[in-house]
Structure 1
Amino acid sequence: MSTQPAYKVRLGLITATVWDNDGFYSVDIARSYKNNEGQWQSTSSYSHSDLLNVAKCAERAEIWIGRKINAA
């Protein structure tokens, strides 16, 4: 797997990161938050208010991957 993401989309605190492993794509979806010390962290746990942005990020990642696959 590459050390750099092939594509990244962010909506609010939600980020979808697409990784290219020789034409096989995987997607990580994470929510950013600040811990008690004020440092940014990420989690794969989402609240109700996050779910629309999770769905939109997943859709945009799927569209991007589809275009890459169809262009090959």
Structure 2
Amino acid sequence: MSNQPAHKLRLGLINATIWANDGFYSIDLTRSYKNADGQWQNTNSLAHSDLLNAAKCLERAEIWIGRQINASK
């Protein structure tokens, strides 16, 4: 994988980072939150209230990846 993501998506507190590696794509899905000191952090744990945004973010990631694959053909 390269050091830079191929693409980033954000929906609310949910972030999807897409990584490209020789035509293969992987996705990191995280949720942002503020810790007790007020500093922004990321976690892989999702709450029930995050699930709809996570699903929509992953759908958008799938569409973006599909467009990249089709463009390279």
Q: Which residue is 2:26 aligned to?
A: 26
If the length of structure 2 is used for normalisation, what is the TM-score? Answer: 0.94
Partner deviation per Cα, 1:26-60 (whole Å, 9 max, x = no partner):
00000000111111111111111100000000000
Q: Structure 2 counterpart of 1:31, which letter?
A: R
CA distance in 1, matches of 2:40, 2:15: 13
- Moved runs in structure 1, 4+ residues, more than 2 A? none
Aligned residues: 72
Looking at structure 1, the residues matched to 23 and 37 of structure 2 have their Cα atoms a distance apart, in angstroms, of 39
Rounded Cα–Cα distance in structure 1 between residues aligned with 2:29 and 2:19: 11
TM-score of the two chains, using structure 1 as the length reference: 0.95
Counterpart residue number, 2:65: 65
Unpaired segments of 5 or more residues in structure 1? none
Give me the whole-angstrom Cα distance separating, in 1, the residues matched to 2:14 and 2:40.
13
- Which blocks of at least 5 consecutive residues in structure 2 are unaligned? none
